[in-house]
Amino acid sequence: MQQNATNCIKLHNPPGFFMAKRSVIRKRRKEVFRLIFDGKYHSQKEIAKILGVSRRTIVRDLKALENDIEREFNKRQRKREREFNKRQKEREKERRELEKKMKELFSFSLFH
């Protein structure tokens, strides 16, 4: 019985089906993004009508776009934090080296 169900799945989803579906979704989301930022107001219903999909699909696409933007923002934020921490460590190292040189200079001048 399970073998038949597996065969049905394979028959209904030919090779490359999911990749093709992803590219369609990606294109639709780009179009949703373009419509949102074209400077005009578009309701979810209007966007759905323009793209020929359901309003629920548009809601899902908007949520996915929001997650993508948040993920990219967080990625860039982490990069900025890493760079900041690296600069802080470099400054701290320079400060310690300068302190060491100052101590050497003052200790030398005091005793000689």
Structure tokens at 100: 């060491």
Give the tens place of pLDDT for each residue, 35-93.
999 999 999 999 999 999 999 999 999 999 999 999 999 999 999 999 999 999 999 99
Please tell me the distance from the alpha carbon of residue 64 to that of residue 60, in angstroms, as a whole number: 6
pTM to 2 decimal places: 0.57
State how far Cα 29 lies from the chain centre: 15
Q: Alpha-carbon dihedral of residues 63, 57, 17, 23, nearest 10 degrees? A: -60
Domain boundaries, the chain: 21-111
